[in-house]
Amino acid sequence: MSDGLHPAVVSAQPSQRDEKNPDAPLFEGEYQDRLEKILSRYPFKRAALLPVLNMAQQVRGWISPDTIKRVAEILELSPAYVRSVASFYTMFQLRPAGKYLIQVCTGIGCDLCGAEDVVEGLLKATGTRIGETSADGKYTVVEVECLAGCGFPTMVQINDRMYENVKAEDVEGLLKELD
């Protein structure tokens, strides 16, 4: 089964979908095909680690210890090594998040232009605290470092979507748009 993706771009597929299935099989069907395409782009297996973790996260929504072991097996690495690498990068979710992972940039550019109010608004609207998933499992709000959109403050990323110029008063509308 092929997913039609060009091998050049298989290693760069955004990985935070709305639908998360923590028990989905890894590396089967179209993902088997993707795995092979990823491996074809690097001179050795270890180099495929970030793309493969990314794909695993796309499939399951987060990187569980079980996922780590599977990835280690596929790439002939030790599970500890894979855990170490995964824990280095902030985009790998080593804990399950809500359906919508809401990342608010609070870097200097956005901070100067009211990011704090946006965070506050989002926490109020979702009834959560930073990093905590709302009771209905829908939202997790986190502060992140600079999202490289300092000219369009405040930058907010929700799963695979980027929102620019978000103001505190936009928060309600933003959350409504998600459903």
Main-chain dihedrals φ then ψ at residue 47, nearest 5 degrees: -65, -20
What is the CB-side half-sphere exposure of residue 51 using CA atoms within 13 A? 23
**Judged by CB under 8 A, which of 3, 73, 136, 145 binds another protein?**
145
Query: Six-digit token pair at 106?
Result: 């609070």
Site for another protein in 111-140 (CB under 8 A): 111-113
Query: Six-digit token pair at 58?
Result: 């796309």
**Judged by CB under 8 A, which of 153, 154, 171, 175 binds another protein?**
153
Query: Six-digit token pair at 173?
Result: 């509308």
**Judged by CB under 8 A, which of 35, 56, 59, 68 binds another protein?**
68
Q: Of 22-30, 40-48, 117-125, 132-140, which part binds another protein (CB under 8 A)?
A: 40-48
Annotated binding site for [2Fe-2S] cluster: 105, 110, 146, 150
**Judged by CB under 8 A, which of 25, 90, 95, 177 binds another protein?**
90
Beta carbon nearer to another protein, 115 or 171: 115
Distance of CA 111 to the CA centre of its chain: 22
Residue found under tokens 């060009």: 6
